[in-house]
Amino acid sequence: MRAIDISEHFLSQAHWVDPVRTVDGVIVGRPDKEVKTILVTWISSLKVLNEAIVQGFDAVMTHEPTFYDHAHEREAMDHWEISRVKKRLVEENDLVVIRNHDCWDKWPRIGIPWAWGHYLGLGEEPAVVSTNGEQLRYDIEPVTLDLLAARVAAKTALMGEPFVQVAGDGERKVSKVGIGTGCGCRIDLYREMDCDVSIVCDDGTCWWGELQRAVDMDMPVIRVNHGSSEDPGMATLTEYINENLHGVTAVHRPHQGYYRLIPGRHVG
């Protein structure tokens, strides 16, 4: 399949995506290139692009932007020197970067939020799906907030995030768990879905806004890194490609958090 055919495969089935306004598509590289191997990644960092070239992949499929701008990354390719470096690297090595964000964000049952809920072990099926398809509620056996947070941290630790942020009474029992990824983490919507706790990500919430509102409403919150919440969806995307795109082999490149957590200690 050509790179453009692969992108069109997803867009043709994603009725929720506006084909004119979407960020999805072939971002850089030859759209007509024949693609047999794809490296699937949450974000196409310079390190990941170099890995794809060294390992001989034809294309990289990324969820997040390559050129540091969510909605206008093609226009941003020449904005910064590092963007120009990445663009030259892709073009000079005949690599292709395909973005799959809007399609996979809401792909039913195996897309980003569903994959996150399954990875956390919350259940096979959500009890409630928001009308916009971005936020889900899973019903579990009652458990304390801190124990639920510890279970989440055990999962995110496998991706380099051994700690999660928690707001609320750690001994409170919770059972109606709202999850969301990216910008799909609206506290008001979790309340409308009758959630008694929410697991959000740092890209979709800020402490002076959504999170402070949750605290003031006495609604417990667990917050993780954006990449941790969405990388399980990259695994399901890889499986989907291997099962549905004839002649194309995909490999998941697991995301690992960039930052480290350093505890305070006496110096000197």
| CA separation for the pair 242, 239 (Å, rounded) | 5
Secondary structure (DSSP) of 180-232: E-TT---HHHHHHTT-SEEEEETTT--IIIIIHHHHHTT--EEEE-HHHHHHH
pLDDT tens track for 209-266: 999 999 999 999 999 999 999 999 999 999 999 999 999 999 999 998 888 888 887 7
**Mean pLDDT on 144-157:** 98
What is the pLDDT at residue 139?
98
- The reply to whether 112-226 shares the fold of 3-105 is yes
What is the pLDDT at residue 257?
83
What is the pLDDT at residue 23?
98
Q: What contacts 168, CB < 8 A, 6 or more positions away?
A: 145, 197, 215, 218, 219, 220, 221
- Strand 135-144 relative to strand 128-129: parallel, antiparallel, unpaired? antiparallel
SS3 64: strand
Structure-derived torsion over alpha carbons of residues 203, 204, 208, 214, reported in degrees to the nearest 10 = -140
| CA separation for the pair 197, 190 (Å, rounded) | 8
The answer to whether residues 116 and 230 touch, using CB atoms and an 8 Å cutoff, is yes
- Strand 96-99 relative to strand 25-28: parallel, antiparallel, unpaired? antiparallel
**Mean pLDDT on 56-60:** 98
| CA separation for the pair 36, 45 (Å, rounded) | 21
pLDDT tens track for 220-234: 999 999 999 999 999
Mean model confidence pLDDT for the chain: 95
Asked whether residue 268 carries a pLDDT value surpassing 70, the answer given is: no
What is the pLDDT at residue 264?
86
Phi and psi, residue 178, nearest 5°:
-95, 135
What is the pLDDT at residue 222?
97
The domains of the chain are located at 3-105, 112-226
> Scanning the structure block, which residue is given the tokens 């002649």?
247
CATH number of 3-105: 3.40.1390.30
**The domain over range 112-226 is classified in CATH as 1.10.10.10:** no
pLDDT tens track for 74-120: 998 998 999 999 999 999 999 999 999 999 999 999 999 999 999 99
- Among the residues of the chain, which ranges form H helices? 3-13, 46-54, 73-76, 81-92, 102-105, 112-119, 145-156, 187-192, 212-216, 226-244
Find the helix or strand (DSSP H, E) in which 251 lies: strand 249-252
> How is residue 70 annotated by DSSP?
S
Asked whether residue 267 carries a pLDDT value surpassing 70, the answer given is: no
pLDDT tens track for 114-140: 999 999 999 999 999 999 889 999 999
What is the pLDDT at residue 204?
84
SS3 120: coil
> Sheet of 165-167: strands edge to edge?
128-129, 135-144, 173-180, 197-201, 221-224, 165-167
Asked whether residue 158 carries a pLDDT value surpassing 70, the answer given is: yes
Asked whether residue 53 carries a pLDDT value surpassing 90, the answer given is: yes
Would you state the structure tokens that stand for residue 137, as one six-digit string?
Answer: 């509620």
